[in-house]
Chains A and B, each alone.
Chain A
Amino acid sequence: MTSSNYFLTHLWLIPLFPLISAALMLLFGRLLQKDAVNLFCVGSVFLSFIHAVGAVLALLSFEPGQRVYQQILFEWVTPGPIPAAGVLTPFIADWGYLLDPLSCVMVLVVTGVGFIIHVYSIGYMGHEGGYYRFFGYMNLFMFSMLTLVLANNLMLVFVGWEGVGLCSYLLIGFYFLKKSASDAGKKAFIVNRVGDTGFLLGVFLIATTFGTVRFTSQGLGDPVAFAGISETLAAMLDQGRLAFGAPVFTAIALLLFIGATGKSAQLPLYVWLPDAMEGPTPVSALIHAATMVTAGVYMVARMNAIYQLAPFAMDVVAVVGALTAIFAASMALVQNDIKKVLAYSTISQLGYMFLALGVGAFAAGIFHLMTHAFFKALLFLAAGSVIHSLSGEQDLRKMGGLWNTIPATSRPFLIATLAITGMPLFAGFFSKDEILGRTFARAATVDRYLALWVVGLVTAGLTAFYMFRLLFLAFFGLSRVSPEVEHHIHESPKTMTIPLTILAALSIVGGWFALPALWGEESSFEKFLEPVVRGVIPETAAVKFAHHTLLTEYLLMAASVGIAIFGLSLAYKVYLQYPQLHSKVAASWPRLHNLLVHKYYVDEVYDALFVNRIKDLSIALGLFDAKVIDGLGVDGAGSLARAFSRISMWWDKWVVDGLVNFIGRFTRFLSHPIRMIQTGVFSSYAVMILIGLAILLAYYGHHMQVLVRSLR
């Protein structure tokens, strides 16, 4: 829909503010005072947030079916023909922004949570070097992420996708003097490359299948000139050129999903996320919990029209999501680093989101994305606040008893824990129940989904256990804080605790969109997203949910809350009530405990299978380079040139110069007799003159005679 609303027509400003500020920081940041950095960087994100809210409110004033605003700023990749479906089609990728219900959610989460985390960073990073560099990267990240979620085509999504990857790399390696930090940055970047290859191939396949990478032509007027994927897809299905379950859909969906597993840290590419905790805590909160890692979820939800036509790919997404959820949750059980627990928890929660997407509950996945952004950002920020209070201590074994020492941190942490474990009325309760409920609803028609539901339910129990373990170890029981740290414990500054409070509020109310689900109505969040996620042809879509009764709904809720409480009480028993119990439990299953502590040896296996093989290959290539290219090629050419120049020198010396010298010597030899005349004794010269004179006289004598005779 076209509109003259200021916020909609100036949609392009939302990503621009952080970009300008990032450019300013990275070019001139060194010259600026901290206050100026705060003003520009936090201010620019705030302006983006205001514009995002304005744009979303303007969009909400449209009819539910009409809620699409699209603007094209300029033609970015100019038309060039590509072979699409056998004919050459002009391919265009524009630099354009699309605001529809899905991007509304994303843009609000990104700017909102992003702004809160920026404010928090003022306090957290206050004593760190490279202040302007940190904020410059953060703002660059905001620009990339907003480009990603607002992009109207897949090529532009890829720009944002790579941009956030770059910023993630830069910020993980923020403390680049620390070897582990720069290694972690590299690891994140390289692992993401693997996924990005899949993503890019998926985009190419979409381009050649549909001849366009634009999501939709809605809001642009002419649907022929501005072809969109969803319209082209619908037309192709209508004409029967493609059908439900066509291999090309499966291929596209799987390739894109490979990209999502990289960015969103799913099996088998999740290994970079725990290491990414080397970055500053606000980075972990913003990039590695709330926004960037959800890009994969967003992208799959965005391409739901294709996924719904590829049932096999959907199953893959669901299975990978469920396995990641339980796998990561099990690793979180034994981690001792407060941030590592949260990192595995993030992977696990992202697994939930993919489970939701895989069973076709796209709206539920996005809903969990949003609530997760709130409570996981809060968990990370609160953990950062704990670390800040304890002068950099991250080991859970050296915490404890902080509940009353740092109340402005511990209370929000409790709320976030309640939210993530799905305690009733907290945000996570609604979104997690939505996912489990939808999975169960699929299980009612197709039995194999029941296994996924069980996995999801068990994961909920594990989540409760490791989260309350974290809470009890950090805030309750006896203090295990080392004496010199104990001395310095202090509550974090207001710039850190106020963001915690805001996020705590959001972690409570953030799920209330789904309150109507409690009395059997459709959640308003789902109603809002429905136009985006309904699929192209609903009646042929892969997803069919059984409508279960309100009673089933309540039973499901009771089951997930029950298992969460079970996890809670277990954690309470082994960590709080009998603090020695957990080491005894660990000792009684040493194999299992060891396996978990070593994270299933996945890093070791990857090292053995890929990393070291690539290193071997590099060494072999290096040897090839040194021996063959340099040795035979460069050095060989050098020796060959030397040999040739030696021959050439011999020729020059003996043939060319020899000839010249020979001519010289020959001349000298011939001239030798004549030279001998030059005695240098002038009397001999005088003799010669006289002899010459005599000869002349003898020769011309008769002339003289004539002359003399004439005198007579």
Chain B
Amino acid sequence: MMSPAHYLFLSLALFLIGCIGVITRRNVIVVLMSIELILNAVNINLVLFSRIFGDVAGQVFALFIIADAAAEAAVGLGIIIAFFRNRETVLADEMDLLKW
């Protein structure tokens, strides 16, 4: 039998993997993918608590976040492509125009 703790630990694992990916990876596309992991960790939490409280609002929120993640991925990839055309790179540590 799966207890809520299992879901919460899955969610936590996904979140941490995503966070570590965001912090450590240089490639912006991978960073975007890590963000997707974080968002989905959140989704799992929302659906879990929706189930527990018997309130459908959490699942509706999850749907919204999926849509948002799709939009974010589209916009983010678009920005990355545009940036690549300008700078010939997708490495995050080279995107330092706003430094100081």
Contact = CB atoms under 8 A, between A and B. Distances in A.
A683 B23 CA distance: 5
B86 interface: no
A711 interface: yes
A224 interface: no
Nearest to A693: B19
A682 B99 contact: no
A678 B99 contact: yes
B96 A681 contact: yes
Given A680-B95, A681-B93, A686 B100 contact: no
A706 interface: no
B19 A690 contact: yes
A681 B23 CA distance: 10
Chain B contact patch, size range: 10 to 19
Interface in A662-696: 675-676, 678-683, 686-687, 690
B96 A686 contact: no
Contact of B23 (A678, A680, A686): A686
A681 B99 CA distance: 8
B52 to A, nearest CB: 7
A680 B99 contact: yes
Interface centre among B22, B26, B95 (most CB of A within 10 A): B22
Nearest to A681: B93
A675 B100 CA distance: 6
A682 B95 contact: yes
Contact of A711 (B24, B52, B96, B98): B52
A679 B94 CA distance: 11
A617 B98 CA distance: 80
A711 B5 CA distance: 13
A675 B95 CA distance: 18
A433 to B, nearest CB: 121
Contacts of B97: 680
Interface string A297-339: 0000000000000000000000000000000000000000000
Contacts of A682: 31, 92, 95
Contacts of A687: 23
B22 A679 contact: no
Nearest to B49: A711
Query: Interface size class for chain A?
Result: 10 to 19
B92 A681 contact: yes
Interface in B38-59: 52-53
A711 B92 CA distance: 41
Interface in B1-57: 19, 22-26, 31, 52-53
Interface in A485-538: none
A261 to B, nearest CB: 98
Contact of A680 (B22, B52, B98): B98
A678 B96 CA distance: 10
Contact of B24 (A675, A676, A678, A683): A683
B22 A686 contact: yes
Contacts of B100: 675-676, 678, 680
Contacts of B24: 683
A682 B35 CA distance: 13
A686 B22 CA distance: 7
Contact of A690 (B23, B53, B95, B98): B23
Nearest to A711: B52
A683 B98 contact: no
B99 A683 contact: no
A240 to B, nearest CB: 112
Contact of A683 (B52, B53, B93): B93
B96 A680 contact: yes
B23 A679 contact: no
Contacts of A683: 22-26, 31, 92-93
Interface in B63-100: 92-93, 95-100
Contacts of A675: 100
Interface in A186-242: none
Contacts of A676: 100
B27 to A, nearest CB: 11
A690 B22 CA distance: 10
A682 to B, nearest CB: 6
B53 to A, nearest CB: 8
A679 B96 contact: yes
A682 B22 CA distance: 9
20 contacts: A675-B100, A676-B100, A678-B98, A678-B99, A679-B96, A679-B99, A680-B95, A680-B96, A681-B92, A681-B95, A681-B96, A683-B22, A683-B23, A683-B24, A683-B25, A683-B92, A683-B93, A686-B19, A686-B22, A711-B52
Ranked 10 nearest A-B pairs via Cβ: A680-B99, A680-B96, A686-B22, A681-B93, A686-B23, A680-B98, A687-B23, A683-B23, A682-B92, A678-B100
Given A682-B31, A711-B52, 14 more contacts: A676-B100, A678-B98, A680-B96, A680-B97, A680-B99, A681-B93, A681-B95, A683-B92, A683-B93, A686-B19, A686-B22, A690-B19, A690-B23, A711-B53
